[in-house]
Structure 1
Amino acid sequence: MATENANYPGEKIFKEAKDFLPINGTDYVELYVGNAKQSAHYYKTAFGFESVAYSGLETGNKESVSYVLQQDKIRLVLTSPLKKDGPINEHINNHGDGVKVIALWVEDATKAWEETTSRGAVSFMKPEKTEDEHGYVVRSGIHTYGETIHIFVERRNYKGVFMPGFKAWKTDFNPAPTGLKYIDHMVGNVGWGEMNKWCEFYAKVMGFAQLVSFDDKDISTEYTALMSKVMSNGTGRIKFPINEPAEGRKKSQIEEYIDFYNGAGVQHIAVATNNIIETVRDLRSRGVEFLYVPEVYYDNILERVGEIDEDLEPLKEMNILIDRDDEGYLLQIFTKPVLDRPTMFFEIIQRKGAQSFGKGNFKALFESIEHEQELRGTL
């Protein structure tokens, strides 16, 4: 399954995937934010990202400013507008800070655009070549759920720091990394009855396969429920779970998200680590807040998941969840929302062979989320 080299071409492991659109990995994730300079400081300080590249007034960009951050194979682009009005302002006004672009690294951005638009994708941008003294990049793009877009990035002929229009961003303040390696998966929340539509989109338009499906019997508590399906490309490098609300006694976390985000969007980014105990301990010391799971969760956990390599005490101390499937086990934990609106958050995950998504933890996790919703008055 996912390895430390998860963002590089690999063997096809999900045979059902058509894979007419070969994807090497996630190129970058771009968030539209109200203050890119301060957001960049947060992701550096709290999560251990490093300064990479910059675009703004100093590079001739009069419309917006972008800071590029990286940790191992995870690349974030934080973008803010420099003028009033315009599409970036409108996006922030409607959604708050949030993911606008999930950029996918491909060998041929023109072919990627042709393959997807010929199968029904709505074009966001036709193939466009930009160049500077370091070579050239070709990008194209399509619309997906909500106002989220996929940009296909072809960079095999580019040797610069990020892409044309950016310059190297050097800073004196460069905190140590926290052990985050690559993006394991990214989860989208969509509206009532829209999950199958978008799963069919990823199957038909992008050649993905459905890995797993969870219904409201799998993901429910006394009060709330949701449904989810996981779509993946053939190598497993790109995995997109899609969630929709299900009927429950009270408002589910998906409904809360859609209410505050004003529509469908990226709910969370799952990032992998090779040592979740060290990573979470480091993140906590830097101010990252995580969901709390009651101690009773650990009382019989080893009876449910079997033998694990780690000592249970530090997992319990850090509130890290454990689950097992036929291939192995995984360790996972979820941050509280990293924005003022209760929308986007991060998952930290360490896979020890498991290919699944922590089904055995859903009840404990969602009861913890409901506790947070109760504090917000939105349950």
Structure 2
Amino acid sequence: MTTDNTSLKLEKVMQDAEDFLPILGTDFVELYVGNAKQAAYYYQHAWGFQPVAYSGLETGRKDSVSYVLQQGKIRIVLTSPLQPDGDINAHINKHGDGVKMVALWVDDAKKSYEETTKRGAKSYVAPYEMEDEHGKAVISGIHTYGETIHLFVERKDYEGPFLPGYKAYATKAEAKDTGLNYIDHMVGNVGWNEMNKWVDFYAKVMGFAQMVSFDDKDISTDYTALMSKVMSNGNGRIKFPINEPAEGKKKSQIEEYIDFYHGAGVQHIALATDNIIETVTQLRDRGVEFLYVPDTYYDTLLERVGEIDEDLEPLKELGVLVDRDDEGYLLQIFTKPVLDRPTMFFEIIQRKGAQSFGKGNFKALFEAIEREQDLRGTLQ
């Protein structure tokens, strides 16, 4: 896969961001999973991701195996251990399947490492070069919340299917894509009173700026609440909302996540589409489960958000939520957890001008999550 080096063309949309790296986009998201082969089948046939690269015993790798899948600009890596000990096993034993690496595409991985570590980031791996017949890539990395890592990936001199050490990979069983284009944002859940610590980290260490803030008056129901702040890099391609629990009558989704994940981590990944009705219809038909929204949500929807291009009935039938801000409106829907532990899930989002995150839907969303928590016996 080739990628153009386009950093000089990127417009700065967050004027408060120092943006000293800069970041060109999300390179990939790597999940540590118990069985990468079966997880790859799920993401291919349920979600429409296409297999593009592989690394394992056949490529000389003895301790682990990875499958790389892609749809649009979204690239996921699924990694499983081949031995009974080591860091990957420890991560899975503690957290279950979950996101380990959030890799960021940069012009200069060495500079990205130096700029962040001198501002206080804890080193994960110092810059190093990887090389094969397709060229050279440079990788470095830092620690963030929980055990989540940010890798910096410099690939302007690499033209292989993924990275050195991987070979091109495909399967005979084809699965049509579902219209997913890119990662809109990724949400991190952190512990009590840790949100501002990590907001400061992204501001001071990575040069991000705060887009928006939500407190427990914005994000609450009769039972649960949370706090959230959204951090963005300068060009707006990387957006990281950071959530922490807030006091409520019962255990919030953030507390449930932390209890089962055993620490801070990536709660959900928002995937953008140009046609949410078509995308969600395909996903649902392939077995992806979404949160239930009562029909009453749609009774006053148009009064609240105004006219929209879409017909209301298919949105209602699928359970798609709608919200509007000063710049337009958005459509969004959330899956149930895609793992046995009630931890990671996905959001599907279509933006029709809106740059916000669906504040008007928070109450309906949280009530839907609470219904699932009640079924699990964790809404206490």
TM over 0.5: yes
Give the equivalent residue in structure 1 for 2:40: 40
Residue identity matched to 2:83 = K
| Equivalent-residue separation in structure 2 for 1:10 and 1:272 (angstroms) | 20
1:101-138: CA deviation from partner (whole Å, max 9, x where unpaired): 00000010000000000000000000010100110100
Give the equivalent residue in structure 2 for 1:193: 193
Residue identity matched to 2:96 = G
Q: How does 1:112-261 map to 2 (within 5 A)?
A: 112-261=112-261
1:57 has 2:30 as partner = no
Q: SS at 1:366's partner residue?
A: helix
| Equivalent-residue separation in structure 2 for 1:41 and 1:62 (angstroms) | 22
| Equivalent-residue separation in structure 2 for 1:135 and 1:67 (angstroms) | 20
* Mapped contact 1:227–1:243 kept (Cα < 8 A): yes
| Equivalent-residue separation in structure 2 for 1:306 and 1:324 (angstroms) | 8
1:201-220: CA deviation from partner (whole Å, max 9, x where unpaired): 00000000000000000000
Q: SS at 1:47's partner residue?
A: coil
* Mapped contact 1:51–1:174 kept (Cα < 8 A): no
Amino-acid identity (%): 77
Residue identity matched to 2:259 = D
* Mapped contact 1:108–1:154 kept (Cα < 8 A): yes
Q: How does 1:21-40 map to 2 (within 5 A)?
A: 21-40=21-40
1:62-88: CA deviation from partner (whole Å, max 9, x where unpaired): 010000000010000000000011000
Residue identity matched to 1:84 = P
- For structure 2, the residue ranges without an aligned partner over 5 or more in a row are none
1:133-184: CA deviation from partner (whole Å, max 9, x where unpaired): 1101000000000000000000000011101000011210120000000000
Bigger CA drift: 89-98 or 304-313?
A: 304-313
| Equivalent-residue separation in structure 1 for 2:134 and 2:29 (angstroms) | 22
Q: SS at 2:90's partner residue?
A: helix
Give the equivalent residue in structure 2 for 1:376: 376
With structure 1 as the length reference, what TM-score do the two structures score? 0.98
Residue identity matched to 1:195 = M
| Equivalent-residue separation in structure 1 for 2:102 and 2:170 (angstroms) | 25
Give the equivalent residue in structure 1 for 2:275: 275
| Equivalent-residue separation in structure 2 for 1:173 and 1:20 (angstroms) | 44
Following superposition, the deviation at residue 10 of structure 1 comes to 2.3
Give the equivalent residue in structure 2 for 1:265: 265
Give the equivalent residue in structure 2 for 1:344: 344
* Mapped contact 1:55–1:66 kept (Cα < 8 A): yes
Following superposition, the deviation at residue 99 of structure 1 comes to 0.1
| Equivalent-residue separation in structure 2 for 1:232 and 1:55 (angstroms) | 32
Q: SS at 1:12's partner residue?
A: coil
1:217-272: CA deviation from partner (whole Å, max 9, x where unpaired): 00000000000000000111000000000000000000000000000000000000
Q: SS at 1:61's partner residue?
A: coil
| Equivalent-residue separation in structure 2 for 1:327 and 1:142 (angstroms) | 35
Q: SS at 1:196's partner residue?
A: helix
Residue identity matched to 2:111 = K
Give the equivalent residue in structure 1 for 2:334: 334
Following superposition, the deviation at residue 288 of structure 1 comes to 0.2
Give the equivalent residue in structure 2 for 1:20: 20
Give the equivalent residue in structure 2 for 1:357: 357
Q: SS at 1:24's partner residue?
A: strand
| Equivalent-residue separation in structure 2 for 1:111 and 1:18 (angstroms) | 15
| Equivalent-residue separation in structure 2 for 1:282 and 1:160 (angstroms) | 31
Following superposition, the deviation at residue 56 of structure 1 comes to 0.2
With structure 2 as the length reference, what TM-score do the two structures score? 0.98
Aligned length: 374
| Equivalent-residue separation in structure 2 for 1:182 and 1:251 (angstroms) | 32
Give the equivalent residue in structure 1 for 2:89: 89
Query: Which aligned segments of 4 or more residues in structure 1 are displaced greater than 6 angstroms?
Result: none
Give the equivalent residue in structure 2 for 1:321: 321
- CA RMSD between the two structures: 1.0
1:280-306: CA deviation from partner (whole Å, max 9, x where unpaired): 000000000000000000000101001
* Mapped contact 1:48–1:176 kept (Cα < 8 A): yes
| Equivalent-residue separation in structure 1 for 2:266 and 2:249 (angstroms) | 25
Q: SS at 2:23's partner residue?
A: coil
Residue identity matched to 2:325 = D
